[in-house]
Structure 1
């Protein structure tokens, strides 16, 4: 017969949790912010049916899974304040119902994908504090509802496209 042992107290439990154990499906809102989650964002995250996915303030590393671009119902995606690296997947341009995209304060590299200009419902785009390079895509002006665009603390080059400067709803640049 197996013996039951003592359960660890909260102080004895590990502070880091593997990310794969934290995800469930079929929720409207999944907020796993500031939970000391580590490792890469699991591939199965693409099977979530959520309107809001907030993973900010963890210690996720590695690339942003391209499968996130298939989450058509996603209105808010917040992956900020992690250690995500590599390029921003162009497939995120498929998130046509997304209103808020927060990828700031990571280690993202490469160009801002022009496909982000397809996010016509976007109100807020924050890509600040990464290692992004190159020009600001002109077609970001297609995001006509954009109120806040934060691209600060990157290594962007070139002038601000006149199309972006003329965005009438843009309050914060």
Structure 2
């Protein structure tokens, strides 16, 4: 297996509601080398889970994915992101409500930005969704790793997915 810090890897960051299920799903994807739960897209440095849930940090619960593009493409990860949540909901996923549960793609390159915008346009043009895609597509900023008890949460607790 390729080292997650290898120059042959790329990073993708997605927010699709509660990060536990999203992290678990991406972790199980062939070609994904690592998936980490955390917070990004806000204005508070080094936020805690409590900060993100109960204070106005602006951060989303997100998952940073390290992947081998020779084994899984960014477009395949975008498709999986689509399957993991409802991209038409604004500031919520299932029973989870708040801006920290928003749908967002944090891009790490102009190529990712273009691919994400094309993905969103295709979904909107498909006529298969009840509402327009609400997913934000913005350049990636600092990603703050969530507390250790959030990492590999399902493996540690044996619990099922949040809302997936």
TM-score, with length taken from structure 1: 0.25
Larger radius of gyration: 1
